[in-house]
Amino acid sequence: MPVKMVLEKGKVPVNIYTDEIESSALDQLTQISQLPFVHHHVAAMPDVHTGIGATVGSVIPTKSAIIPSAVGVDIGCGMNALRLSLTATQLPDNLKPIRLAIENSIPVGFNQHSRASVANSTLKQLDKGIDNILAKHPTISKMMKRIHDTWTCQLGTLGGGNHFIELCLDENQAVWVMLHSGSRGIGNNIGTYFIDLARKDMERLQVQLPHRDLAYFPEGTQYFDDYVEAVHWAQDYAMENRREMMRLILESLRKVFPYFEITKEAINCHHNYVSIEEHFGEKVYLTRKGAISAREGQLGIIPGSMGAKSYIVRGKGNADSFCSCSHGAGRRMSRTAAKKHFSREDLERQTAGVECRKDSGVLDEIPSAYKDIDVVMENQSDLVEVVHTLKQVVCVKG
């Protein structure tokens, strides 16, 4: 479907790929569009909804400036998926042992590994990068106890919130492993620190903003290069975190299924990040907050909720969306509202047939708290084509 709504209250228009959007998200998008350095227009994906700092599902091209809160604090959050040679007929009737095996391999929530599990070469590379950042910004070190031990032991861990690990079946009954996570505590600290630093910079320079959350670093100023260095390190960390989780998951599955092959990696992709790209004749800093890259032919992952379908997609390279698409179904209800509105019985009913936690601790992730993924997909038919349709049979939540 083409753009469904255009906001024209700012310095640039906002192209919106849905008509299901709350007024607070429209306000946030309008505020973003009023910034003088936004290039050409802003795009809002079909899963768009109100976020902290900036709108989730927004794609923001900026020239000579970056907005740290638009990237957010879960820097580099994203998805990874692999198709295995296993099929549905090879899965046991009782899937709980598989879920428990994954949970035993991957710490969830605030838990972490007792020691680093990744290769020393990877640790050394990441260690060098974070040391450079902390040397210039030692305050980040004080935001986390035993920061080196923590970030190394959190590599290969899930975290909480909407992060998950799933076993899914596609339309051919092939088994897929799919996971969603980001840069964990260290990414949160980096994001929080630089968001606060940008706000202080704006106050010092007496810059008038549409909203304080849209504080930015102009190119050439004191902290711009430091933020670029830090955000790219956190994105690399998030990518490595997903790789390590996938390795550990496959290791745990081999204890249950000794013989299987990895037949295809769909993609390991960010959906909260900034990159340097060229759009509408200009080189820009493109921030995707809750959106993935969908260049022509590029594979991507669009998950639904823990009771709905997910999709492996191929990008169509739509210029008006800055070659982007949605990162999921998108919330239609806040976590607090979902906990008040739904019961455990609702959760059990909506996740019937899925081996997962069904307790009050994951009630805020109930499928009805999310938009209808089928409608979201219909609204971005101009942006991507579906390659595989997945349905989860096992789901591990943080």
Beta partners for residue 264, in sequence order: 83
Catalytic site includes residue 327: yes
On whether residue 35 sits in a domain, the answer given is yes
Reported as a pLDDT band with limits 50, 70 and 90, residue 361 is confident
Q: 282: buried, middle or exposed (CB in 10 Å: 19+, 13-18, 0-12)?
A: exposed
Instruction: Give the pLDDT confidence score for residue 53 in this predicted structure.
Output: 82
For residues 317 and 295, the answer to whether their CB atoms sit within 8 Å is yes
Q: 306: buried, middle or exposed (CB in 10 Å: 19+, 13-18, 0-12)?
A: buried
Is 74 labelled as part of a ligand binding site?
yes
Is 303 labelled as part of a ligand binding site?
yes
What is the spatial distance between Cα 237 and Cα 218, in angstroms, rounded to a whole number? 25
Reported as a pLDDT band with limits 50, 70 and 90, residue 129 is very high
Is 272 labelled as part of a ligand binding site?
yes
On whether residue 374 sits in a domain, the answer given is yes
Is 282 labelled as part of a ligand binding site?
no
Token readout for 146 is 């035993």
Is 162 labelled as part of a ligand binding site?
yes
Is 391 labelled as part of a ligand binding site?
no
Percent above pLDDT 70 for the chain: 99
Structure confidence by residue, pLDDT tens digits, 277-302: 999 999 999 999 999 999 999 999 99
Structure confidence by residue, pLDDT tens digits, 218-248: 999 989 999 999 999 999 999 999 999 999 9
For residues 310 and 392, the answer to whether their CB atoms sit within 8 Å is yes
Is 328 labelled as part of a ligand binding site?
yes
Amino acid sitting at position 185:
G
What is the spatial distance between Cα 297 and Cα 113, in angstroms, rounded to a whole number? 37
Residue range(s) defining the domain that contains residue 270: 5-332+370-397
Could you give the residue ranges of the DSSP H alpha helices within 8-146? 23-33, 68-71, 96-105, 120-136
Q: Which secondary structure element, helix H or strand E, spans residue 82, and what is its range?
A: strand 78-87
Structure confidence by residue, pLDDT tens digits, 29-63: 999 999 999 999 999 999 999 998 899 999 999 99
On whether residue 350 sits in a domain, the answer given is no
User: Among residues 40, 270, 327, 388, which one is catalytic?
Assistant: 327
On whether residue 341 sits in a domain, the answer given is no
What is the spatial distance between Cα 130 and Cα 76, in angstroms, rounded to a whole number? 15
Is 90 exceeded by the pLDDT of residue 264? Answer: no
Is 180 labelled as part of a ligand binding site?
yes
Instruction: Give the pLDDT confidence score for residue 157 in this predicted structure.
Output: 97
Rg from Cα positions in the chain: 21
Reported as a pLDDT band with limits 50, 70 and 90, residue 373 is very high
Torsion sign over Cα 178, 308, 58, 18: positive
Structure confidence by residue, pLDDT tens digits, 67-76: 999 999 999 9
On whether residue 361 sits in a domain, the answer given is no
What is the spatial distance between Cα 223 and Cα 190, in angstroms, rounded to a whole number? 13
Is 160 labelled as part of a ligand binding site?
no
Instruction: Give the pLDDT confidence score for residue 333 in this predicted structure.
Output: 87
The total domain count for the chain is 1
Is 166 labelled as part of a ligand binding site?
yes
Is 329 labelled as part of a ligand binding site?
yes
DSSP 350-398: HTTT-BS--SGGGGGG-GGGB--HHHHHHHTTTTEEEEEEEEEEEEEE-
Torsion sign over Cα 24, 344, 392, 173: negative
Is 45 labelled as part of a ligand binding site?
no
Amino acid sitting at position 245:
M
On whether residue 349 sits in a domain, the answer given is no
On whether residue 359 sits in a domain, the answer given is no
DSSP 287: E
For residues 310 and 168, the answer to whether their CB atoms sit within 8 Å is yes
Structure confidence by residue, pLDDT tens digits, 202-219: 999 999 999 999 999 999
On whether residue 351 sits in a domain, the answer given is no
- CATH of residue 226: 3.90.1860.10
* Average pLDDT rounded to a whole number, residues 271-279: 98
Closest CA to 42 of 65, 62, 15: 15
